[in-house]
């Protein structure tokens, strides 16, 4: 009979996946202002073992009460930096050894599953309304997009972040 895992079993399972995880994931949130989106990104980032989150532009910090409500305290589990100009965040990520990949629809973007995320990557996600700025797109090492077949033009930024983090880990774990 199938049963849900107990908390001890979940911890054991998570330890197994952690042992197979070597690459670092970081995020740059460029002018992501929706506090519930920010909170959700922090919570998902903590679940996927995100190393660092750089806030850029006018991004909402996780200390915002609404962001905190969604993050459920996970901002304590991820190193994060107060908002800086977006290009400063890109430089900091590159200086820390990350390959910077913007998740954005551009004329040279590759589908995310064809983008090499099996390394130390910093995923850039842009504002809910306008996406990544032209300066950040120019500074990024590459761009990728999440294919979709429906009649909607884009995903919610928190959903896109979750999908991108998941794909990065999937690529890393594919040979376990």
Domain boundaries, the chain: 22-173
* Per-residue pLDDT at 154 exceeds 90: no
Please report, for residues 18, 97, 169, the alpha-carbon distance to residue 36 in angstroms, rounded to integers and kept in the order given. Answer: 27, 29, 24
Q: What is the pLDDT of residues 52-80, one digit of tens each?
A: 999 999 999 999 999 999 999 999 999 99
Q: What is the pLDDT of residues 84-140, one digit of tens each?
A: 999 999 999 999 999 999 999 999 999 999 999 999 999 999 998 899 999 999 999
The pTM for the full model equals 0.95
Look-up of token digits 């969604």: 70
175 — pLDDT class (breaks 50, 70, 90): confident
Give domain 22-173's CATH architecture: 3-Layer(aba) Sandwich (3.40)
> Residue 1 CB: number of other CB atoms within 10 A?
2
Mean pLDDT computed over 32-41: 97
Residue 80: its pLDDT value, please? 97
Give the sheet arrangement for strand 142-145, strand by strand. 79-84, 52-56, 25-30, 121-125, 99-103, 142-145, 110-111
Rg from Cα positions in the chain: 16
């Amino acid at each position: 009979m199938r049963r849900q895992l107990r908390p001890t079993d979940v911890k054991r399972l998570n330890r197994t996946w952690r042992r197979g995880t070597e690459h670092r994931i970081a995020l740059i949130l460029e002018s992501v202002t929706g506090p519930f989106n920010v909170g959700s990104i922090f919570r998902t980032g903590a679940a996927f073992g995100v190393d660092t989150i750089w806030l850029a532009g006018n991004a909402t910090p996780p200390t915002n009460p609404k962001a905190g409500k969604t993050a459920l305290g996970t901002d304590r589990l991820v190193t994060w930096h107060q908002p800086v100009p977006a290009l400063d965040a890109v430089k900091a990520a590159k200086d820390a050894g990350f390959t910077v990949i913007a998740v954005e629809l551009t004329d040279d973007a590759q589908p995310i599953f064809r983008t090499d995320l099996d390394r130390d990557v910093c995923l850039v996600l842009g504002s809910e309304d306008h996406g990544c700025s032209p300066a950040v797109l120019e500074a990024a090492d590459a761009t990728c997009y999440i294919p979709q077949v429906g009649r909607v033009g884009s995903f919610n930024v928190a959903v896109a972040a979750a999908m991108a983090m998941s794909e990065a880990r999937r690529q890393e774990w594919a040979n376990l």
